[in-house]
Amino acid sequence: MRAGAGVTGPATIPDLRGLPVLGSMLLFRSDLLGLLSRMAALGPVARFHLGPVPVHVLTDGALAQAALVDHADAFRKSRELSVFLRPLLGDGLLTSEGMLHRRQRKLLAPAFAHKRIASYAAVMADESAATARSWRDGAVIDVAATMMEMTLSIVGQALFSADVRGDSAVVASALTEAMEAMLASMTSLVQLPESWPLPRHLRMRRAVTALDTVVFRLIAEHRRAEEDRGDVLSALIAACDDEDGSTMTDRQIRDEVMTLVLAGHETTANALAWALYALSRHPAARERVEAEADSLGGRAPTVDDLPRLTYTAMVIEEAMRLWPPAFVLGRTAIRDVTLGGYRFPAGAAIFVNTWGMHRHPDLYEQPEEFRPERFTADAKKVRGKGTYLPFGAGPRICIGNHFALMEAQLALTAIAAAVRLDAISDKPVEAEPLMTLRPRGGLPMKVTRRR
């Protein structure tokens, strides 16, 4: 039986008609977001094929909740992560499974506790303010690239106590190359081992080598220092298993650091870029964000200011609804499981369609519109579980989600206090689906200094 071919449910599952042999492979490669939108329109559960493999797409909050939370133990991460990203991330938190995943998450948890995250606030605010100060009035900057550089610097200082700004170009280029190589491998009809010198495999190797140079240097510097700097890297080096007393090798530490570099700056950078883009197209919303920033009297925001920056937080959350960092969540059933009346056999491939749910008219009125008011406290109380998943949900929810949200809130406030950024074209910016949703081709915007 083909993987997932025996899925049954209370209604006939609509099947997207694809090409012979290829199925929807070409559409998956050329217009993934369009494919996800089409699957959402077909119903709460729909199916397409990647070559011979059926993929079942869930565009329903209750089903998403069941898969990610209630029956999370019935699934593992999808092959896209477990196989195609392993050369980049190794056995880091994003790709590991079972006991290893639980052990690593336990070791990392103290570094992302609320009290520890609050201690990073000054770095977040100061770096964001310094970045905004560096922009010349009237200049046109690529906001997408600039946010990547800024958030990488914040991650370097907050999590690794290191200045990595000099590495930003190398990291950005290598991550892009790695993600493009991963997508090329994932959508290839011929799956060959990584040892084969195919162009996509060589691109992945080049990217990993460039990133390893940066990451192993950070680890070596910390080991030579022989001190606890109060950061994540120090915690990983000092981590000791409760049962056997073992510590992590440099390779194990490398896998976790690589995961944090990818997830820790990529998601926040994109959230900020999209939020700034949305504000440039909605002047009234931008004025409210500026008013909150101005209420601080010209000083940089602190962690204590967060409760009064409520509209700014709503802008970030709405930006992540429209352009979610985790726009699709892949899972593979490891045993037979029933979700909402649908029975999925072991081996079934499942996509939780975050993109489709976040833009579904049954869940969000006029979903294509930018409306931060969707995220007032009262509005969030009545929203169904599983319908808003920018960081996933359940035991595999992004461990750094609170870090990312605080960083975005502080950074957007610091930037709004200093400058206005306006898109230089009225043409809508297209989202590029890699590991996250980047603005395709960058995001050029014009700087106007406010003070």
Residue 228 belongs to a domain with what CATH number?
A: 1.10.630.10
* Tokens, residue 237: 């080096």
> Which residues does 199 contact at the CB level (< 8 Å), separation at least 6?
none
Place of tokens 């939108």: 37
Which tens digits make up the pLDDT trace of 385-395? 999 999 999 99
Residue 170 lies in a domain: yes
* Secondary structure letter of residue 66 according to DSSP: I
For helices 310-322 and 283-294, the axis angle rounded to 10 degrees is 140
Residue 5 domain-assigned (yes or no): no
Which of 321, 339, 323 lies closest to 331, judged by CA?
Answer: 339
Is 63:7 a contact under the CB 8 Å cutoff? no
Q: Is this structure's pTM higher than 0.85?
A: yes
Residue 53 lies in a domain: yes
Instruction: Identify whether 174 is part of a domain.
Output: yes
pLDDT at 431: 97
pLDDT of residue 81: 64
Q: What is the pLDDT of residue 1?
A: 31
Nearest residue to 155 via CA among 106, 208, 115, 214: 214
pLDDT for the residue 259 = 86
- The angle formed by the CA atoms of residues 94, 96 and 97, to the nearest 5 degrees, is 120
- Domain span at residue 207? 25-449
What pLDDT shows up at residue 111?
76
Q: How far apart are CA 357 and CA 288, in angstroms?
A: 27
Residue 410, pLDDT score:
98
Tell me whether residue 105 is in a domain. yes
Residue 283 inside a domain? The answer is yes
**Domains contained in the chain, number:** 1
| Cα distance between residue 368 and residue 333, in whole Å | 32
The first and second tokens of residue 191, run together, are 């799956």
Which strands sit side by side in the sheet containing 75-77, from one edge to the other? Answer: 45-50, 53-58, 349-352, 329-333, 75-77
pLDDT of residue 2: 41
Q: Coil, strand or helix: which one is 235?
A: helix
- pLDDT score, position 98: 82
Gap between the Cα atoms of 402 and 405, Å rounded? 5
Low-confidence ranges of the chain (pLDDT < 70): 1-5, 79-82, 189-190, 241-243
Q: What is the pLDDT of residues 51-108, one digit of tens each?
A: 889 999 999 999 999 999 999 999 998 766 667 778 888 888 877 888 888 888 887 8
Q: Is residue 350 part of a domain?
A: yes
| Cα torsion angle, 308, 312, 315, 316, sign | negative
Rounded-to-integer distance, Cα 275 and Cα 323, Å: 9
Helix (H) or strand (E) holding 129: helix 121-133
Triad 371, 373, 376: Cα angle to 5°: 150
* 150 part of a folded domain: yes
